[in-house]
Amino acid sequence: GSTDQTAASAEITGAEILKLSPNRGKGGAMNAAVQYIQTDIVAFIDADLGQCAEQVGLILQPIINEEADLAIASFPPAKKKGGFGLVKNTARWAIRKAGQIEMVSPLSGQRAMNKEVLQAVTPFKEAYGVELGMTIKALQKGYKVIEVPTTMTHNETGRDIKGFLHRGRQFIDVLKVIKAESGGNKT
């Protein structure tokens, strides 16, 4: 579903590409990819990281060393003003409620986990609920979830119509995850 030539760039490097039609969104793409994962440790990384992707080792290390079951990259403060914190703070509240942990970057897409956790948190929620659903499921199932400080950056949305629409869709999906995970629907 990407329109930014990510697949073409990855293909040039020799990466195996999974092409889905129609566009299934991030969660749908991740769900489709799970059946192809053959490693004991997996990392999910957003395509917009650019050179910051070199820091993936920071989230892999706690998994390799068995210090955590799910490691999530936390980002430094945003460089440009985005929203008003409603989406992030709602996600933080849901995570705190699920597992008594505080998170800086609750919606970070940069995550590493062992195969056991991967199997426990799938299928993933669709759309913008992927990360929050993954974290809540892992915490509810007793897995150790940590945040790893990084200096990663990514494409930020601003305080314009496009940015507010993006955060509006995010907020709706975050609320859907909270409702599903608190209402006894643990899938």
Looking at residue 77, which CATH number applies to its domain?
Answer: 3.90.550.10
How many domains would you assign to the chain?
1
pLDDT tens, residue by residue, 146-185: 999 999 876 667 778 888 888 899 999 999 999 998 765 4
In-domain check, residue 71: yes
Residue 68 in any domain: the answer is yes
The verdict on residue 13 lying in a domain is yes
| 118-128 residues labelled b (16+ CB within 10 A) or e (exposed) | bebbeebbbbb
1 assigned to some structural domain: no
- Note whether residue 187 is domain-resident: no
CA distance 137 to 86: 22
Give domain status of residue 147, yes or no: yes
**């945040």: which residue's tokens?**
147
pTM of the complete model: 0.87
Expressed as residue numbers, the domain containing 145 is 6-182
